[in-house]
Structure 1
Amino acid sequence: MEFICEWCGKAADKSLDTVYWELPDGSRAIEITDTPAVSCKDCGMVYQTEEVTKEIEDQLFLIDTKPIGKIISFEDLMARPRLLKRNYFDFSS
Structure 2
Amino acid sequence: MVLVCEWCSSENVKSVSGTVYWELPDGSRAIEITETPAFDCPDCSMVYQSEATIKEIEDQLFLIDSKKVGKIITFKELMSIPRLLKRNYFDFS
**TM-score, normalised to structure 2's length?**
0.96
Equivalent residue, structure 1, for 2:86: 85
**TM-score, normalised to structure 1's length?**
0.96
Q: Letter of the aligned partner of 1:67 in structure 2?
A: K
Structure 1: which 5+ runs fail to align? Answer: none
Per-residue CA distance 1:17-57 (angstroms, 9 max, x = gap) = 10000000000000000000011011110000000000000
Of 1-10 and 14-23, more deviation after overlay is shown by 1-10
Give the RMSD, CA atoms, in angstroms.
0.7
Q: Post-superposition, which runs of at least 4 consecutive aligned residues in structure 1 deviate over 6 A? A: none
Q: How many residue pairs were aligned? A: 92
What SS class does the counterpart of residue 82 from structure 1 fall into? coil
Equivalent residue, structure 2, for 1:3: 3
Percent identity between the aligned chains?
A: 68
Structure 2: which 5+ runs fail to align? Answer: none
